[in-house]
């Protein structure tokens, strides 16, 4: 079979249990090769099937004018490497990150799946249209592909959904979703057009494996992981992870990212150096064996009881 015809199909296992045992809808993602690199895994998200499963995060971008040129160049380099999803938010750098993204995607807009997030205090019928317009202006575009509620706030979800749907009807956004939602909040969205739940998830912080990830898979709602390689350096300095990375001729970060892809979760690491960008992009074509995954489960066990949703 030619490389361009390869298909990758995986089954998620949570704490030793095949998620397909759950009744109802069951989402099986077929990993398709990215046309620019047939080894890079892609997934379906927000109406597109060509989204490379490792995107680009922008948290802390746009905070310092002295870093702007470097940040813009990093995002453009990431696009050139095939990472065609960019995630940002009106909160990041008080809108500065969206301005960085807008400059980076100028002339490249059609290649990108653009994700931004709205503050909870803007998640009302009255405030969301203005917040969206301001994000569109900073991003230099006429629509946001996936617009997320950053976390749940004071407004009823029904009102927020109505505001999202009005923006979609107006062509300002194409799809909407949420971030930092646990199972109880997601259940309020059951049967809605929610296109994604973005949460903190990595080898060290696997709380969503207990019930949130199974629930989202059952409801065919894709999960996107922020902080995918941890929040500090502890994970990347883990001796067991380093040993596995050495066996693969990879870095610990690449193993951590490849593990997320094995869970059928899209990852959005941030990088501003050329080396880290290449490292992240290469992780989209790294395959872990069943033995590797079993070893990682032993090194970083899945939770055996419900844990509070980790949020930063």
Q: Which residues are annotated as a binding site for substrate?
A: 150
Measured distance CA(33)–CA(265) in Å, rounded: 16
- Whole-angstrom Cα distance, residue 14 to residue 77? 35
Alpha helices in 157-303 (DSSP H): 157-169, 183-187, 212-218, 239-248, 252-262, 274-283, 290-299
Q: Exactly one of 34, 92, 155, 201 is catalytic; which is it? A: 92
- The answer to whether residue 92 is catalytic is yes
Q: How far is it, in rounded angstroms, from Cα 102 to Cα 96? A: 10
Taking a C-beta distance cutoff of 8 angstroms, is the pair 201, 180 a contact? no
Give the integer Cα–Cα distance in Å for 170 and 129: 10
Indicate the DSSP class of residue 106.
Answer: T
Residue 107 has a CB neighbour count (10 Å cut-off) of 8
Round to whole Å and give the CA distance between 35 and 110: 15
Return the percent helix, strand and coil in the chain, to nearest 5: 40, 20, 40
For residue 295, how many other CB atoms are within 10 A of its CB?
16
Q: What is the DSSP letter of 157?
A: H
In whole angstroms, what is the distance from residue 210 CA to residue 225 CA?
16
Q: In this structure, are residues 75 and 104 in contact, taking their beta carbons and an 8 Å threshold?
A: yes
Q: How many residues does the chain have?
A: 312
- Catalytic positions are 92
């Amino acid at each position: 079979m030619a490389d361009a015809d390869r298909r990758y199909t995986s089954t998620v296992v949570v704490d030793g249990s095949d998620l397909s045992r759950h009744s109802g809808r069951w989402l099986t993602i077929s990993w398709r090769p990215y046309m620019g690199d047939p080894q890079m895994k892609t997934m379906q998200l927000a109406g597109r099937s060509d989204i490379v499963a490792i995107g680009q995060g922008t948290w802390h971008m746009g905070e310092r004018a002295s870093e702007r040129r470097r940040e813009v160049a990093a995002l453009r380099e990431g696009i050139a490497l095939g990472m065609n999803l960019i995630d940002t938010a009106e909160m990041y750098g008080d809108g500065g990150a969206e301005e960085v993204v807008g400059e980076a995607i100028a002339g490249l807009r059609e290649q990108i799946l653009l994700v931004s997030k709205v503050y909870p205090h803007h998640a009302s019928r009255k405030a969301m249209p203005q917040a969206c317009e301001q994000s569109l202006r900073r991003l230099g575009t006429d629509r946001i592909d996936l617009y997320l509620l950053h976390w749940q706030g004071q407004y009823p979800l029904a009102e927020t959904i109505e505001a999202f749907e009005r923006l979609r009807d107006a062509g300002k956004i194409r799809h909407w979703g949420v971030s930092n939602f646990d199972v109880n909040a997601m259940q309020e969205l059951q049967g809605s057009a929610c296109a994604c739940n973005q949460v903190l998830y990595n080898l060290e912080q696997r709380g969503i494996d207990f019930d949130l990830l199974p629930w989202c898979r059952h409801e065919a709602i894709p999960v996107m992981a922020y902080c995918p390689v941890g929040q500090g350096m502890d994970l990347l300095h883990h001796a067991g992870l380093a040993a596995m990375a050495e066996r693969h001729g990879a870095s610990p970060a690449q193993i951590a990212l490849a593990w997320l892809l094995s869970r059928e979760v899209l990852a959005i690491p941030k990088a501003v150096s050329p080396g880290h960008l290449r490292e992240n992009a290469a992780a989209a074509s790294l395959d872990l064996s069943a033995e590797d995954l079993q070893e990682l489960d032993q090194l970083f066990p899945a939770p055996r009881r419900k844990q509070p949703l980790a949020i930063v």
